[in-house]
Structure 1
Amino acid sequence: MIGKLCAIVIDCPDPSALAGFYEELLSLRRSDDDPDFVVLGATADSPVVAFQKVSDFRPPRWPDPARPPQAHVDVLVADLDVAEAQVLALGATLLDGSDKPIGYRVYADPVGHPFCLVTPLDRA
């Protein structure tokens, strides 16, 4: 083994605002909070999700290879419909072609990063 996952760093225009979205989505708490870099983590030994300020941020476009995703997160959920209502209320957007009844759905966070809600059947 070379190493283990330490962090997923997501570029964005406002780290504090985007971290607030992911705090609710992933049930994580802030372990470091500054205007240019916010870190979320469950425990000291687990990987973290960090948000880094980029002044010339250009949001990704799904699925445009000229503007690809800068990060991708899969979130395991028990019920896609229930979870969808919750992420939409947080400011997510369902992306075109992603309205699947089972398996997974692709969304964009408030600044355009794609993420998936997946069901346990997808994880087999």
Structure 2
Amino acid sequence: MYDIVIDCPDPGTLATFYQRLVGGEIVDPTPEWMTLRTPSGMRVSFQQVDHYSPPLWPGQEHPQQIHLDVMVTDLDESEPLVLALGATLLQGSPKNIGFRVYTDPAGHPFCLVTN
């Protein structure tokens, strides 16, 4: 697999959010497309889409289609950091079972997970 591409209204904002969340560098940016190369070498790209509609969780009116899991060592310590970056904790997200569900600034669900 070469790349994961995520639709969004503003590639720069979303690429910067994930760069701050997981590290790495943004490579070959254009206004319509940004690619984040993570410290592990994984590529995640962000593509501008006109008339973007964010997914809804847990409902399926606008299915999430894809989501990212980000490994952390402590959910309680990581939560304020991810919220400060612009994430939103979703209502109904579990608190004590090893993961929590958030949305990024474009509305895509992602999870913070622990071992």
What range describes the TM-score normalised by the shorter chain of this pair?
Answer: over 0.9
Letter of the 2:79 partner, please give it. Answer: E
Query: What is aligned with 1:50?
Result: 45
Q: Which of 5, 8, 13 is 1:9 aligned to? A: 5
- Give identity over the alignment, percent: 53
CA distance in 2, matches of 1:19, 1:71: 16
Query: What is aligned with 1:117?
Result: 112
Query: What is aligned with 1:85?
Result: 80
> Could you tell me how far 1:47 is from its partner in structure 2?
2.6
> Could you tell me how far 1:46 is from its partner in structure 2?
2.8
CA distance in 2, matches of 1:106, 1:28: 22
5+ residue gaps, structure 1: none
RMSD: 1.5
Dislocated runs of 4+, deviation >2 Å: none
Equivalent pairs counted in the alignment come to 115
CA distance in 1, matches of 2:76, 2:28: 33
Query: What is aligned with 2:23?
Result: 27
5+ residue gaps, structure 2: none
Question: Could you tell me the TM-score, scaled by structure 1's length?
Answer: 0.86
> Could you tell me how far 1:62 is from its partner in structure 2?
0.7
> Could you tell me how far 1:71 is from its partner in structure 2?
2.6
> Could you tell me how far 1:38 is from its partner in structure 2?
0.2
CA distance in 2, matches of 1:66, 1:99: 21
Q: Secondary structure at the match of 1:57?
A: coil
CA contact (8 A) 1:10 1:70 kept: no
> Could you tell me how far 1:70 is from its partner in structure 2?
4.0
> Could you tell me how far 1:90 is from its partner in structure 2?
0.6
Q: Which of 54, 71, 80 is 2:66 aligned to? A: 71
Query: What is aligned with 1:101?
Result: 96
Question: Could you tell me the TM-score, scaled by structure 2's length?
Answer: 0.93
Matched, 1:38 2:39: no
> Could you tell me how far 1:42 is from its partner in structure 2?
3.2
